[in-house]
Amino acid sequence: MVARAGQISLGVRFRIGWGGACLRVDPAALRNRVLVGREVVRQTGIDADSILKAPTVPDLRDALVAAVRAASARARPGAGHARAMAAIEVVQAAPPEARLQSAQDGVASRTLRRDVLAAAGLPLRCLAGIVRFQRAMRLLKAGDVDTLGALAFEAGFSDQAHMTREFRRFGGFTPSLPREAPIVG
């Protein structure tokens, strides 16, 4: 199959906090953006010639994978990034009541929030909300809970109304009428 402009879309999704480090850009500058063609080079510094000149879809995929691997290999995250990644891991894994407190353990709250914003392109509170939403979607999809109240509790929301507001915010739907949404796990 030969790819024509506008016919095929391929993309890259980095783990939370790694896109900016690998691409050497402020992740907030890429939030809610789609980069096309030469804009990729301007924004990320990736050598996109092999990507832009790929004659077939498999060649395009291979060139994209090679470019991302090269970008990942040259990533040099600093101490702030390490703190941010530790906080992100805590937010993703810890019980809801302990998350933010243990994420801040030994680090000033403001420093940690600044580090997470720099690494992930999102404020820590927003990122925690997204992680909670994703956790609720996984539980909902797996059918592991009997009621929406139990789902809210298991996912770490303060109550069912809070969960419903966050579902509308992050998914555009309510938990009682879920839609297919990409789940990052």
pLDDT in tens, the chain (185 residues): 455 666 677 778 888 888 888 888 888 887 778 777 677 777 777 777 788 788 888 998 898 899 889 888 888 888 888 888 888 888 887 555 445 555 556 778 888 889 989 898 888 888 889 889 988 998 988 888 889 999 999 998 999 999 999 999 998 888 887 666 555 54
- Other CB atoms within 10 Å distance of the CB of residue 139: 17
End-to-end CA distance of the chain: 32
Please state which architecture CATH assigns to domain 123-185: Orthogonal Bundle (1.10)
Domain ranges of the chain: 19-73, 78-121, 123-185
HEC letters along the chain: CECCCCCCCCCCCCCCCCHHHHHCCCHHHHCCCCCCCHHHHHHHCCCCHHHHCCCEHHHHHHHHHHHHHHHHHCCCCCHHHHHHHHHHHHHHHCCHHHHHHHHCCCCCHHHHHHHHHHHHCCCHHHHHHHHHHHHHHHHHHHCCCCCHHHHHHHHCCCCHHHHHHHHHHHHCCCCCCCCCCCCCC
